[in-house]
Amino acid sequence: MMKYLLILSLTFSSSLLSQELTGKKVFETYCWGCHHQTAVAFGPPFNEIAAKRTKQEIEAYVISPKSMYKAFGYRRTAMTQFHLNDHELDLISDYILSFKGKK
């Protein structure tokens, strides 16, 4: 019985380790403190962003809020500047856009 449990827990933890990076994970790692999917937090909710921005615009904003905030209609920016790689940018922008039309 113990042996069975051990094998079971080993299988379970290795499947967690091999878990693929997803947009949701990027969100939980970097954005969650300030953005929520459908509720206003410190920053605007993803469903609102998805309703008015393209994938290119979202990626540009995440790459450099400082050079984009004026074009996006903000008077200042309080968002952290990240250094996400192309894969993470692709995942997070698709994740944001997946909230288009959601309440």
Binding site for ligand HEC (CB under 6 A): 30-31, 33-35, 42-44, 49, 53, 58, 61-62, 65, 69, 72, 74, 77-80, 82, 92
Of 14 and 38, which CB lies nearer to ligand HEC in the complex structure?
Answer: 38
**Residue 5 vs 101, nearer CB to ligand HEC:** 101
Cα separations in angstroms, 102 against 2, 10, 70: 46, 38, 27
* 101 contacts 47 by C-beta, under 8 angstroms: yes
**What's the closest the beta carbon of residue 22 comes to ligand HEC, in angstroms?**
13
Residue (77 or 98) nearer to ligand HEC, CB: 77
Helix orientation angle between 86-97 and 55-63, rounded to the nearest 10 degrees: 130
